[in-house]
Every structure is written in structure tokens, then in C-alpha cells.
Amino acid sequence: MIQVWLRNFLFFKKTFLVSLFWTVFEPLMYLAAFGFGFGRYIPPIESLPFVDFYFPGLLCSSAMMVSYFESTYPNYTKLTHQKIFSTMLLTPLTHQQILMGEILWSATKGLLGASGVMLISVFFGLASFQFIFIMPILFLLSLIFAAFGMSIVSVAKNYDSFVFSTSGFIVPLSLISGTYFSLKDMPQLIQWLAYLFPLSHGVQLCRHLLYQKINFFTDSIHFLILLLYAGGLIFFANTLFRRKIVS
């Protein structure tokens, strides 16, 4: 498993700048435009200035986006054009090890992207010791969306298939999960819908951890739901991936 992770890391070293550019700078542009720019005209939400309210949402959706994109397009290329997974299967590596290696790598990349944003946000005066506590949550979120990505890779017919999962699921999720607005003020239906999916739970947890508003009971439930999502999606991805590469 770790060998698969290592292969990706070695490739990442070669393409470091490209990777850095979209994983870190893109979220920073959002932070600047929405958080600091647009946010100046907005009254506090949940008694937090908009930029503070938005920041954990941005970190979570960055982790989601980066891990999802990292596990879809490159892995679909490895599966189809490069046939790298087939080649790995010529070695003692099993399909589970390949899958877990890839999920772990995409999750690493997700965490790395979000961490990059955190690191640079220090210069914007958003530094906080609490960053350390939200990192495991960001990693867990990354695992979830990496596993989701690998599931889509295993059933995709071509690159267009990802348009549906991206525009139909990932992007709407980044908008409705309590990232830009408080879910508390939303109609019950929107709240239900948002809490049906994992991103909102991650955002809530991170926001509570970052601003020390932990409620042990509800936050344990948020955490448990994330764990269940991670376990379930990894199991699901494993089933689909096996069907795809072993006949």
C-alpha cells in the first residue's frame, strides 16, 4: 500500500509547482475575494466576522476538492491510458493495496492543500493554535472524498462521467454545507439535505474546534458520521474497484 503512495509522491515531486498552484493558490483567491473582499459588507454570522465564519468552510471544501480531483482524473488515466493499475497487479500488490494506496495519497494531497492554505493564512492574521486539532478532521474528509472519487473512477465510462459527479455533487456540496452561510437560518429541508452528506459535518466540527465552541454530544455525532462515511465509502470503492480490474 505504501509503495503505491510512494509512487505518487515521487511523481508529485516532479510536478510540485503545478500541484501547488491549484491546490493552495486557488483557495487563497477565494479567501481573498469572498472572505476579505465580499465579507466586509456582511454582518457577523453565528457571532463570527464573515471571514472567520467562512475560513473553516473554505478549508473543508478545499480538502474535499483537492482529494476528489486527485483521486478522479489522474487515477482514471492510470486505469485506462497508462494501465498502471494492471501493471501493479503483476506484482505481489493486491487490488486492495492499490486502492488504499491511492486513497491515502489523494487524502494526503487533500490535507496538504488545506494545510498550505492554513500556512499562508497566517499572514492574513488568521493564525490559530487550533489548526492542529482540525487537521485530523480535514484528513478524514479527504479520505471520504478520495474514496468517493475512486468509486466514480471504477464505474466511469469516460472522462465526461466526472462532469456529473463534479457539477452534480461536489460543487453543490461545497455551496450548501454551511460554508458560506449558517445552516441554522436555513429551512428545515435544506438543513436535512446538507447534513445528509459529510462535508457539512466536517465544516461544523472544524468551526467548533477552531473557535473553541465544542459541544461534546453533537460534535461526537458529527465525528462519528464522518467515520461511518469513510468506512462505508472505502468498502464501496473496494467492491467497485475490484470488479473493474479483476474479471
Partner 1 sequence: MSIALSAVNLKKNYNNVAAIKGINLEVKQGECFGILGPNGAGKSTLLKMIYGQVLPSSGDLFVLGLNTKDQFTEIKSRIGIVPQGDGLDTDFNAIENLKLFATYFKMNTNLALMRIEHLLHEMKLASHQYHHIDALSGGMRRRLAIARALLHDPEMLIMDEPTTGLDPQARLWIWTYFEKLKSQKKTIILTTHYMEEAEKLCDRIAIVDQGAILDLGTTTQLIQKYIGIEVIELEVGTEKNYWSVKIKSQGLDFQDFENKLFIYFQSVQQRQNFLEHIQNAHYLIRDANLNDVFLKAAGYQIRGNA
167 binds partner 1 (CB under 8 A): no
Phi, psi at residue 126, to the nearest 5°?
-100, 10
Q: How far apart are CA 31 and CA 112, in angstroms?
A: 17
The residue to which cell 450548501 is assigned: 176
245 binds partner 1 (CB under 8 A): yes
* No. of helices (H) and no. of strands (E), the chain: 12, 0
17 binds partner 1 (CB under 8 A): no
- Of 30-38, 79-87, 128-136, 170-178, the segment contacting partner 1 by CB under 8 A is 79-87
Q: Which of 9, 18, 25, 82 binds partner 1 (CB under 8 A)?
A: 82
Buried b (16+ CB within 10 A) or exposed e, 151-185: bbbbebeeeeebeebbeeebeebbebbbbbbebee
Q: How far apart are CA 41 and CA 121, in angstroms?
A: 21
The residue to which cell 461526537 is assigned: 220
CB of 245 to partner 1, least distance (A): 7
**Residues forming beta bridges with residue 45, ordered by sequence position:** 48
247 binds partner 1 (CB under 8 A): yes
Binding mask 147-166 for partner 1 (x = CB under 8 A): --------------------
Q: Which is nearer to partner 1, 43 or 92 (CB)?
A: 92
Q: Which of 45, 88, 103, 143 binds partner 1 (CB under 8 A)?
A: 88
* Residue 60 CB contacts under 8 Å (≥ 6 apart), including other chains: 114, 137, 138, 141, 177, 179, 199, 202, 203, 206
246 binds partner 1 (CB under 8 A): yes
93 binds partner 1 (CB under 8 A): yes
Query: Among residue numbers 94 through 113, which ones bind partner 1 (CB under 8 A)?
Result: 94
Q: Which of 90, 157, 163, 188 binds partner 1 (CB under 8 A)?
A: 90
Residues that bind partner 1 (CB under 8 A): 3, 6-7, 10-11, 14, 82-84, 86-94, 245-247
